[in-house]
């Protein structure tokens, strides 16, 4: 079975929009690298997430418009999630 790309038949505007989204995603990812790399040095810099069972271990850190949710366990920082701050997370806080 032949595999075709939908992008090949997309109008030029569609291709430009995809490229712009990829560029924006790259800029966002690049802006997160340094703050996330700093978490092991300053793990308490994020705010405590009171809604979770082990509130002292789970923290949230805001980087521009992104939210970085991370856990501290035995001196190690684990990044759990990253999302846009305007995203409606509903009850999905854990």
pTM here?
0.68
- 8-state DSSP, 55: T
C-beta of residue 89 within 8 angstroms of C-beta of residue 83: yes
Query: Which helix or strand (DSSP H or E) is residue 31 part of?
Result: helix 12-38
Domains and their CATH numbers in the chain:
12-84 (3.30.2310)
The set of residues, in sequence order, having a beta carbon less than 8 Å from that of 81 and lying 6+ positions away, is 67, 68, 69
**Can you tell me the mean pLDDT for 30-40?**
89
Q: 89 pLDDT exceeds 70?
A: no
Tens-place pLDDT, residues 42-63: 888 889 888 887 777 899 999 9
- In the chain, the percentage of residues whose pLDDT exceeds 70 is 72
Tens-place pLDDT, residues 17-26: 667 778 888 8
3-state secondary structure of 19: helix
Q: How many CB atoms are located within 10 Å of the residue 68 CB? A: 19
């Amino acid at each position: 079975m032949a595999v075709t790309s939908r992008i090949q038949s997309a109008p030029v505007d569609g291709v430009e929009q995809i490229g712009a989204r990829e560029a924006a995603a790259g800029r966002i990812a690049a802006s997160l690298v340094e703050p996330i790399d700093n978490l092991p040095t300053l793990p308490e810099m994020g705010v405590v997430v009171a809604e979770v069972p082990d509130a002292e271990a789970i923290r949230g850190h805001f980087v521009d418009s992104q939210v970085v949710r991370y856990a501290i366990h035995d001196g190690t920082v684990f990044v759990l999630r990253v999302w846009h701050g305007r995203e409606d997370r509903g009850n999905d806080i854990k």
